Chain A
Amino acid sequence: MDVIKIKGTDDTPNVILDAQNNIIEFSGRSLPEDVATFYAPIIEWIIQYAKTPNPKTNVVFKLEYFNTASSKMILDIFLKFEEIHKDGHDVMISWYYQEDDEDMEEACDEYADIVEIPFQKYSY
């Protein structure tokens, strides 16, 4: 599978999608001008990954900020991983948030309510 590496900017996150090394990671800020265009190749990658997923998938989110339009795209990403989980594969989400960032911690709880995948929260 192709590896996707997107270097983060002040309005787009750093993204690593690397099936071979089993790294799926999002970090930084997400408020792109056009969320749909930014996230489309990422969603497409996950759809391809779902065909032959690794035995264990750990999806790492370490975002310091995302806007509301991105929140919708992040949910779409989780829903794609949920399908992999429902197919009987081992999938978990690791959600990192800054220690005093209540909004980011709450966002994790909300996603965990909606999506049927185990979430693990880590403060840093």
Chain B
Amino acid sequence: MEQKSVDYMKLIYSFHEEMLQNDFTLVYEGEITHQITKAFTSLAENNMERMSEDTSIKKKVFHVMVECLQNLSKHSEENNLTKYGGDPVGNGIFIVGKLGESTNQQYHVITGNTIENEKMPELQALLEKINELDKEGLKEFYKRQMLEGTLSEKGGAGLGLIDIARKTGEKLEYHFVPVDDNNSFFLLRTKIFRKQLD
């Protein structure tokens, strides 16, 4: 084989190693459609079923995955449509992994997508608000948003992030990476703690 091909194969192998070391069970980059959302969630459900995962943890992971994937498919869509035209599909990176020692293990659901800088302040304000609220505050915020909010053209109700914080009981971890003058890359990590093993 040519050196170039060998290097490429080695890259694939190190990629594989990296995934195993980090306990990434799913890494995907590309279009996020409804079909993909369904495929990924049922894959995760089957995996957890096989591991006899606790029902409430299974439900939480499923729930967070659905909301994260639907956020990706709805919110990165606009960028795509205006920039490239074509079908309304979102683009982004989606990762599911497991982290931590056996007594303190967590599922991680990570999403990343490009966002226009002009939309950043609104998203940032929402994330900050969610992270300031306690359980009761989040509940009231969700109820108000459900009552007063309207469905966007893309079918988003602005409830996904609030719900993720409620279902996991954890603060939302997020980061914006500048891409160019007009865009940033928005990363969100959600942790779902498995029950402490006795």
To the question of whether A and B form a pair in one complex, the answer is: yes
Which of A10, A68, A102 touches B157 (beta carbons < 8 Å)? A68
- Select from chain A the residue with minimum beta-carbon distance to B163: A68
- A44 CB-CB contact with B under 8 Å: no
- Select from chain B the residue with minimum beta-carbon distance to A74: B146
Residues of A within 8 A of B59 (CB): 65, 101, 103
Which of A33, A68, A100, A113 touches B160 (beta carbons < 8 Å)? A68
Main secondary structure of the interface of A (DSSP, over half): helix
- Select from chain B the residue with minimum beta-carbon distance to A69: B157
Q: Given A65-B62, A101-B59, is A34 in contact with B155 using a C-beta cutoff of 8 Å?
A: yes
Q: Is A35 touching B55 in the complex (CB atoms < 8 A)? A: no
- B151 CB-CB contact with A under 8 Å: yes
- A110 CB-CB contact with B under 8 Å: yes
Q: Is A71 touching B70 in the complex (CB atoms < 8 A)? A: no
- Select from chain B the residue with minimum beta-carbon distance to A34: B155
- B30 CB-CB contact with A under 8 Å: no
Q: Given A10-B38, A31-B66, A113-B143, is A69 in contact with B56 using a C-beta cutoff of 8 Å?
A: no
Residues of B within 8 A of A34 (CB): 155
| Distance in Å: Cβ of B197 to nearest Cβ of chain A | 19
- B189 CB-CB contact with A under 8 Å: no
- B194 CB-CB contact with A under 8 Å: no
Q: Is A71 touching B157 in the complex (CB atoms < 8 A)? A: yes
Q: Is B146 touching A69 in the complex (CB atoms < 8 A)? A: no
Q: Is B155 touching A68 in the complex (CB atoms < 8 A)? A: no
- Select from chain A the residue with minimum beta-carbon distance to B149: A72
Residues of A within 8 A of B149 (CB): 72
Q: Is A68 touching B34 in the complex (CB atoms < 8 A)? A: no
Residues of A within 8 A of B70 (CB): 31, 67, 69
Given contact pairs A68-B162, A101-B59, enumerate 17 new A-B contacts (beta carbons under 8 Å). Answer: A11-B38, A35-B155, A36-B155, A67-B63, A67-B67, A67-B70, A68-B159, A68-B163, A69-B156, A71-B157, A71-B159, A72-B146, A72-B149, A72-B157, A100-B55, A103-B167, A114-B147
27 A-B contact pairs sorted by A residue (CB < 8 Å)? A10-B42, A34-B155, A35-B155, A36-B151, A36-B155, A65-B62, A65-B63, A67-B67, A67-B70, A68-B67, A68-B159, A68-B162, A69-B70, A69-B156, A69-B159, A71-B157, A71-B159, A72-B149, A72-B159, A75-B146, A100-B56, A101-B56, A101-B59, A102-B56, A113-B143, A114-B143, A114-B147
The 10 closest A-B pairs by CB, nearest first: A68-B159, A33-B34, A72-B157, A68-B163, A69-B157, A68-B160, A35-B155, A67-B66, A75-B146, A72-B146
